[in-house]
Amino acid sequence: MSFKTICLLFIIVWFAWFPKFYSLFVHHRTTARVVFCDVGQGDASLIVDGDFQLLIDGGPSLDVLSCLTQNVSPFDHELEWLVLTHADADHFYGLTSVLQTYTVRHLMIYNMAKASDDFYAFYQAVWSQLQVGNLEVVFPALGARQCLSSRVCVEVLSEFRDFFPLNIYQDHQSFENLSDMITKFVPKSYDYNNGSIVLKLYFDQFSFLFTGDAEEPQELAILDTGLLTKVDVLKSGHHGSKSSSSPLFLAAVQPENIVISCGLENSYGHPHQLTLQRYADLGAQVWRTDLQGTIVIDFDDNGYWHWSSPHSLPD
């Protein structure tokens, strides 16, 4: 093979593989984005700052893994932070597979559980990482603020009443013991939705509010803390249910953009027309994963953001 032929082959291979090389090694290392993953009737939000990732909830299926694959380098097998807002399956189910696929360094969660086989599978996945020393479990405290990366900081706006007499993530429980503890210590009337972790997140100068499935009672409790302020983006509470996004709450946060994560033609009727009307009255731009697919906000180095989605909202 002549030298000229070898050079020609090298040039062909270079141009064929350079885009893939750039995507895998360069683009992912410089990515700065917030992703509202299309996981159907559930929640999963991914925050990426270069090699740093924060995943808030995991949706009701394995779809969250596809979202991670599309936004995290295949050579990066570590997630810095997971947050589980509350113990409903449409928020925690996908996190079981995430914990089985990635090394996770920190899990933000309340000392709470549900008596179900699916939640116990998640609990066991957490314990597997705790046993090998990968994971630190963090119970968030009202008003706590922490910078997780050079560009991402979070503030806790919710308060939690712990019913258990021990830390279930420090003292491993069998399924039977955990179920017995839930029956014994957690009131039958306990509302998991209104026990959500609520986070205000700052990405550079932009502010986001993640409320899990918080409904009006928890929204009003957060208002009473005095910590609630205007935000740029509201992740719609409880998938756009009419029990969330109460008028007083919306008046306090005044979001310019609202993202609703829900499944197409879901059986719950989310988002509710009353909620959509409240958003329209605010003049907020509404984004919906059921109609638009995964919604991505990219941040550049000049202080601007760029929104995108596979589909536009119908007129």
**Whole-number Cα distances in Å, 275 to 234, 243, 253, 260:** 13, 9, 15, 11
Write down the residue that tokens 């609520």 correspond to: 198
pLDDT of residue 24: 45
Please tell me whether residue 81 adopts helix, strand or coil conformation.
strand
Q: What average pLDDT does the chain have?
A: 93
Class of domain 32-299: alpha beta
Q: How far apart are CA 171 and CA 73, in angstroms?
A: 34
pTM of this structure:
0.91
pLDDT in tens, 116-137: 999 999 999 999 999 999 899 9
Write down the residue that tokens 């922490």 correspond to: 146
314 pLDDT band (50/70/90 cuts)? confident
pLDDT in tens, 125-182: 999 999 999 899 999 999 999 999 999 999 999 999 999 999 999 999 999 999 999 9
Residue 7 above 80 pLDDT? no
Q: How far apart are CA 287 and CA 258, in angstroms?
A: 6
Please tell me whether residue 201 adopts helix, strand or coil conformation.
strand
pLDDT in tens, 42-75: 999 999 999 999 999 999 999 999 999 999 999 9
pLDDT in tens, 179-213: 999 999 999 999 999 999 999 999 999 999 999 99
pLDDT of residue 313: 83
pLDDT of residue 27: 46
pLDDT in tens, 242-258: 999 999 999 999 999 99
pLDDT in tens, 283-302: 999 999 999 999 999 999 88
